[in-house]
Chains A and B, each alone.
Chain A
Amino acid sequence: MTLDTEVAPVAPPPPRLQATVHTEEAAATPARPPKLTARAFDLFYGAVHALKKVTLAIPPDSVTAIIGPSGCGKSTLLRSFNRMNDLIRGVRTSGRITLDGEDILGPTDVVTLRRRVGMVFQRPNPFPMSIFDNVAFGLRLLGVRDRGELEGRVELSLRRAALWDEVKDRLEVGALQLSGGQQQRLCIARGLAVEPEVLLMDEPASALDPTATARIEELVLALKSSYTIVVVTHNMQQAARISDRTAFMLSGELIEYGETSRIFTSPRQKLTEDYITGRFG
């Protein structure tokens, strides 16, 4: 195949929907179509224009970081990918968001979407149940009843989340007894149990101490071979450490998007450069 993998976007957007700032939609080839895309996506909280014609494509089995100063809309964008913004009253959207090429904003099964696109929140939010019940929660919803199967899948998820060794002897203990970092890994295990395809992480380590943060970052790197991961972070060094591609947002607009190493060494936009060098943010 002689396809130029660096340049061709999946489908050229019609001119009027084209984003007004430069983006790259590289690494998206017919052989590896993007997992998640946004096309000219607008979002309004009432009268506030929170996301402005955002367009980007996220490749599968990779880590994409979204960085930007507070209030730039990165969390809002993340939450749009699993339609968690639907929970907020007065939200309007326009444009398209696709998962595996299919639009998710129209009449879709939101419940299944959210299973396929999992989310980890900034503050760990385990249910006030035992560790086992937390991980099994989603499985039980899906109809898994057999105790043996449940135990096996729970162990699998806890192993994938690098938490198994620490809790294997106390699965019946309440989840809230764990440390912050452990709780966050539990939330990741809980999300992994329902076999998602995408993992959305909203500042997953910002409420944790440095050691726990390092373990989460290790985990993300280990998981990326099997999942498409999108991480929102306000920590640029973290983005540089763990992500393959980085998107920089400011005031609801996607300013620049491309390979992480390039973004941090030779950004094409002045705004990006200013943010990275700490001139604002």
Chain B
Amino acid sequence: MTVAPLALPARRPRAVTADVLYREVLRAAAACVLVVVAVIVYQTARGAGPALHTYGARFLTGTEWDPVAEHFGALPYVFGTLVSSLLALALALPPCVGAAVYLSELAAPRVGEAMAFLIEMLAAVPSIVYGLWGLFVLAPWLRAGIEPWLIAHLGFLPLFQGFPFGIGMLNAVIVLAVMIAPTIISISREVLLATPGALREAALALGATRSEALGVTLRVARPGILGAVILALGRALGETMAVTMVIGNSNAMSWSLLSPSATMSSVIANEFAEATGKLHASALIEIALVLFALTVLVNAVARLLVYWTTGGRRHDAARA
């Protein structure tokens, strides 16, 4: 006797389609992220086209920036960006690593967390506020007190020659250092908290002082801290508003910290809205392209290092 096969209920096509549709909509949204970056690359490349075509490599080596005569050399701005960022990094690094060590290893847990929280609040202050502070508070201090002192006592160095304007490279370096400090501190702290305590114990058990045991921990955390530093560098390179307000906006390239200067982002901020002529606008967009490439590269290297040492734990560095 044959038994009729069980009539299984047909799969509800509606639900299946709804599932697929839902997933595809979400996937499209995710694809938007790729589209946005593609658009950024395309727009900057296209906009920079005329300038790339006209000036070629001379763009990055020339020092004359004349919108009227249409001579555009961006070297002073590249120089200004690199110098201000690297000096800010050098200024911020020792205190920030020290602070990170204190917060992760030395302070009582609740004190450390409270202080870490306050330092992260530093990161929430918008760039323009730092710019205001640099312009109206720091500049008078520099002009009246610090810069004259530097000129008087260290003026034999080309580093400190010139007129105490109050604004200029020195001001920008200080403001940038303050702005990138939270990044360095919070990531370094996380890296230090992630290093195994067993090594510290081993060092102490051998008769090391606390700072000697710290040396071992720092040695292990070095790649991660380096990652934090490079991430902070990326932040500093792209920083616009605060720098624009305090750096003086002169395209002179000088070894003196006291001289007014300019960066890639400051020249774009200052000139783009009123760019005279297509070539001028295109030159500015080419600067934006260079800045974009530079920050993407630096950030990629940084994230690699940070991921590697925090064991892949994700840190939204854009948050800090």
Does chain A have a CB within 8 A of B207?
yes
CB distance from B257 to the nearest CB of A (A): 39
Point out the residues of chain A lying under 8 angstroms from B219, CB to CB: 128
In the complex formed, the residue of B with least CB distance to A113 is B207
Point out the residues of chain B lying under 8 angstroms from A141, CB to CB: 206-208, 212
Point out the residues of chain A lying under 8 angstroms from B108, CB to CB: 89
Of the stretches A66-74, A186-194, A256-264, the one at the interface is: A186-194
Does chain B have a CB within 8 A of A123?
yes
* Partner pick for B207 among A114, A126, A187, CB 8 A cutoff: A114
Q: B201 near A87 (CB under 8 angstroms)?
A: yes
CB distance from A143 to the nearest CB of B (A): 12
Tally of chain B residues near chain A (CB < 8 A): 18
Interface string of A119-161 (1 = CB under 8 A from B): 1010101111000000001100110000000000000000000
Q: B201 near A194 (CB under 8 angstroms)?
A: no
Bound-complex Cα distance A261 to B216 (A) = 43
Point out the residues of chain B lying under 8 angstroms from A112, CB to CB: 207
In the complex formed, the residue of A with least CB distance to B200 is A87
CB distance from B294 to the nearest CB of A (A): 33
Does chain B have a CB within 8 A of A3?
no
Interface string of A184-211 (1 = CB under 8 A from B): 0001001100100000000000000000
Q: B220 near A187 (CB under 8 angstroms)?
A: no
* Partner pick for B204 among A89, A114, A191, CB 8 A cutoff: A114
| Residue picked from B201, B206, B208, most chain A C-beta under 10 Å | B206
Does chain A have a CB within 8 A of B198?
yes
Interface string of B178-203 (1 = CB under 8 A from A): 00000000000000000010110111
Does chain B have a CB within 8 A of A47?
no
CB distance from A91 to the nearest CB of B (A): 14
Given contacts A89-B108, A89-B109, A141-B212, contact A125 B198 (CB under 8 A): yes
Given contacts A127-B199, A127-B216, A141-B212, contact A194 B204 (CB under 8 A): no
Q: B198 near A121 (CB under 8 angstroms)?
A: yes
Q: B201 near A111 (CB under 8 angstroms)?
A: no
| Residue picked from A84, A115, A141, A190, most chain B C-beta under 10 Å | A141
| Residue picked from A115, A127, A128, most chain B C-beta under 10 Å | A127
Point out the residues of chain A lying under 8 angstroms from B220, CB to CB: 128
Does chain B have a CB within 8 A of A118?
yes
Does chain A have a CB within 8 A of B250?
no
The bracket for how many chain A residues form the interface is 20 to 34
Bound-complex Cα distance A113 to B220 (A) = 26
Does chain B have a CB within 8 A of A64?
no
* Partner pick for B206 among A87, A115, A123, A128, CB 8 A cutoff: A115
Q: Provide the main secondary structure of the chain B interface.
A: helix
Does chain B have a CB within 8 A of A228?
no
Given contacts A89-B108, A127-B216, A128-B220, contact A82 B199 (CB under 8 A): no
Interface string of B105-130 (1 = CB under 8 A from A): 00011000000000000000000000
Q: A187 near B204 (CB under 8 angstroms)?
A: no
Point out the residues of chain B lying under 8 angstroms from A116, CB to CB: 207
CB distance from B205 to the nearest CB of A (A): 4
CB distance from A108 to the nearest CB of B (A): 13
Bound-complex Cα distance A87 to B204 (A) = 10
Given contacts A121-B198, A125-B201, A127-B199, contact A111 B208 (CB under 8 A): yes
Does chain A have a CB within 8 A of B209?
yes
Q: Which chain A residues numbered 57 to 92 have a C-beta less than 8 Å away from chain B? A: 82, 84, 87, 89
Point out the residues of chain B lying under 8 angstroms from A137, CB to CB: 203, 206
CB distance from A183 to the nearest CB of B (A): 11
Point out the residues of chain B lying under 8 angstroms from A123, CB to CB: 198
* Partner pick for A84 among B109, B199, B204, B212, CB 8 A cutoff: B204
Bound-complex Cα distance A260 to B28 (A) = 73
CB distance from A73 to the nearest CB of B (A): 19
Bound-complex Cα distance A82 to B203 (A) = 13
* Partner pick for B202 among A82, A87, A125, CB 8 A cutoff: A125
Q: A190 near B201 (CB under 8 angstroms)?
A: no
Q: Which chain B residues numbered 51 to 79 have a C-beta less than 8 Å away from chain A? A: none
Point out the residues of chain A lying under 8 angstroms from B196, CB to CB: 125
CB distance from A55 to the nearest CB of B (A): 25
Q: Sorted from nearest, which 4 A-B pairs have the closest CB atoms?
A: A115-B207, A119-B205, A125-B198, A138-B206
A sample of 28 cross-chain residue pairs with beta-carbon separation below 8 angstroms, ordered by A number, consists of A84-B204, A87-B201, A89-B109, A111-B207, A114-B204, A114-B207, A114-B208, A115-B207, A116-B207, A121-B198, A121-B201, A121-B205, A123-B198, A125-B196, A125-B202, A127-B203, A128-B199, A128-B219, A137-B206, A138-B206, A141-B206, A141-B207, A141-B208, A141-B212, A142-B207, A187-B202, A191-B205, A194-B206
Q: Which residues of B contact A (CB under 8 A)?
A: 108-109, 196, 198-199, 201-209, 212, 216, 219-220
5 additional A-B residue pairs with CB within 8 Å, beyond A87-B201, A89-B108, A138-B208: A87-B204, A121-B198, A121-B205, A137-B203, A191-B206
